[in-house]
């Protein structure tokens, strides 16, 4: 007797239940989607065509393919580029990635001769080359963006070499400084970022093309030729295994981006604090602020807050790629397909953050009167009083520190600045104080006295601004 089976027990039904949802077709549907990188790596189409043209020319020059086939391939690649520039890159997930997508379209355009393009190369060295080219372009863009931000900082620092503000430690008023000095501190941070970026660009400048899958190739290729044509200043990579499995260049870019983003975030945080009503040091440009949906008086520093927030995503991307790479044996593993999304995301975020902070610094309005008032009311010249007692009254610093503390307490009780205390009140604290002390107690005298190299004195700020303008080629 034939056993009856419920439809739910049929193999097809069981398969559908097992895979379910949009993966009802089973393992092949999952594999197709998890394996496809075309949705994100299509942004490298220009680099892929550029590297393919260099490879084709080398194959033609070395006689590995005929001159006629070389010219046909080059003409076909130009047509593919024109199509992609005009219409965008199509996403056929069966073709997996940008490399197969370009090759498939090239075959449609020029026929079987397109198959000769892949002679003496693998997708392993192809993707390593394309990705290096893309990251190199991103580094160049970041270099220009950092320079623009530095120029904005230097211009505003030059305007405010004499503008006095409180300098802080622990967000407590410490000593008076100039706004120009404060802005030049950020110039120095971004100068170090630019230096890190230059080093990363140097490390990137070796060409993996010709390493093939992992062991090199038996064809008589000219790797120096392709490296030169693609702009890799340090020539071809020296080890084929390392070349196809190396993603240090991507990590270098993410490390640089993380450090740069940290500096951007610190600057953004200060602008947010300074723009708040209790401080009132700066008015943000309207173009980089928003209003409140319920409170009409609000002007929110949203751009600065987003720069601060984006920093977490940038640091997270660096962590993600480090974790991906940490356990991979040589040479290529499919895990490395996940190297691109974090880099692509960071490039976009960093570009936005640098542009936002450049606009913010260039177009904000500093309330220098409010800054000066805050410096005067915060007893920022207390250290100057202690220093004067040491130098002019020959008092040991620890004793001078105690005397100064008493003077600050008295000024707080009177609700006045230190230089507004009558001489008699100061002498009631310590009789060794005389009228000369007032030359040291004003905020102007304080900043002028800090004339050591790298100090906040206006003359020093102007010197550093001049040097920075020379470094940036602004003059």
3-state secondary structure of 177: strand
Contact by Cβ (8 Å): 344, 338: no
Structure token pair of residue 200? 């990363």
The closest alpha carbon to 361, from 197, 187, 189, belongs to 187
CB 210 within 8 A of CB 235: no
Query: Is 182 labeled as catalytic in the residue annotation?
Result: no
First to last CA, the chain: 98
| Choice among 170, 287, 293, 452 that is catalytic | 170
263 classed as catalytic:
no
Whole-angstrom Cα distance, residue 203 to residue 274?
A: 39
CA gap 423, 438 in Å, rounded: 9
Q: Which residue has the tokens 């080629």?
A: 473
Q: Who contacts 15 (Cβ-Cβ below 8 Å, separation ≥6)?
A: 26
Q: Write the Ramachandran bin of 442: left for phi over 0, alpha for psi from -120 to 50, otherwise beta.
A: beta
Backbone angles phi, psi at 287, to 5 degrees: -65, -15
Q: Is the peptide bond prior to 54 cis by the omega test (within 30 degrees of 0)? A: no
Cα dist. 238→52, 128, 227, 325 in Å?
21, 14, 12, 21
Nearest-5° angle of CA 59, CA 226, CA 71?
A: 40
The partner residues of 366 in beta bridges, in order of sequence, read 282
In this structure, the number of other CB atoms found within 10 A of the CB of residue 104 comes to 16
Exactly one of 28, 140, 292, 333 is catalytic; name it: 292
Question: Dihedrals φ, ψ of 474, to 5°?
Answer: -75, -20
Please list the active-site residues: 170, 292
């Amino acid at each position: 007797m034939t056993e009856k089976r419920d439809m739910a027990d049929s193999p097809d039904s069981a398969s559908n239940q097992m895979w379910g949802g949009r993966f009802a077709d089973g393992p092949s549907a999952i594999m197709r989607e998890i394996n496809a990188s075309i949705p994100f790596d299509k942004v490298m189409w220009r680099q892929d065509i550029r590297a393919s043209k260099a490879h084709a020319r080398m194959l033609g020059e070395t006689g590995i393919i005929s001159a006629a086939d070389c010219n046909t391939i080059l003409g076909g690649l130009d047509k593919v580029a024109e199509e992609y520039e005009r219409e965008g890159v199509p996403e056929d997930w069966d073709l997996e990635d940008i490399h197969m997508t370009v090759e498939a379209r090239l075959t449609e355009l020029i026929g079987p001769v397109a198959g000769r393009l892949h002679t003496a190369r693998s997708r392993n060295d192809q993707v390593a080359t394309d990705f290096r080219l893309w990251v190199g372009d991103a580094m160049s863009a970041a270099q220009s963006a950092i320079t623009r931000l530095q120029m904005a900082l230097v211009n505003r620092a030059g305007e405010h070499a004499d503008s006095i503000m409180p300098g802080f430690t622990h967000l407590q008023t410490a000593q008076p400084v100039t706004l120009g000095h404060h802005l030049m501190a950020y110039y120095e941070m971004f100068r170090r970022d630019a230096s890190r970026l230059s080093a990363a660009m140097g490390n990137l400048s070796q060409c993996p093309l010709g390493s093939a899958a992992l062991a090199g190739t038996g064809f008589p290729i000219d790797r120096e030729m392709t490296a030169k044509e693609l702009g890799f200043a340090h020539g071809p990579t020296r080890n084929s295994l390392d070349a196809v499995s190396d993603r240090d260049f991507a990590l270098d870019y993410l490390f640089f981006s993380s450090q740069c983003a940290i500096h951007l975030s610190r600057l953004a945080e200060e602008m947010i604090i300074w723009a708040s009503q209790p401080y009132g040091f700066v008015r943000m440009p309207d173009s980089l602020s928003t209003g409140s949906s319920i409170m009409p008086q609000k002007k929110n520093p949203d751009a600065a807050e987003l720069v601060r927030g984006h920093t977490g995503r940038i640091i997270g991307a660096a962590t993600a790629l480090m974790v991906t790479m940490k356990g991979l044996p040589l040479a290529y593993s499919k895990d490395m397909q996940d190297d691109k999304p974090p880099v692509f995301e960071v490039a976009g975020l960093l570009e936005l953050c640098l542009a936002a902070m450049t606009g913010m610094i260039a177009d904000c309005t500093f309330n220098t009167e409010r800054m000066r008032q805050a410096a005067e009311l915060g007893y920022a010249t207390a250290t100057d009083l202690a220093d004067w007692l040491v130098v002019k009254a020959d008092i040991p610093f620890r004793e001078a520190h105690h005397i100064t503390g008493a003077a600050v307490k008295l000024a707080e009780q009177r609700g006045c600045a230190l230089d507004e205390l009558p001489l008699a009140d100061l002498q009631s604290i310590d009789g060794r104080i005389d009228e000369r002390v007032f030359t040291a107690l004003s905020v102007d005298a304080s900043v002028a006295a800090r004339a050591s190299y790298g100090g906040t004195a206006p003359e020093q700020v102007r010197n550093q601004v001049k040097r920075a303008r020379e470094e940036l080629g602004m003059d």
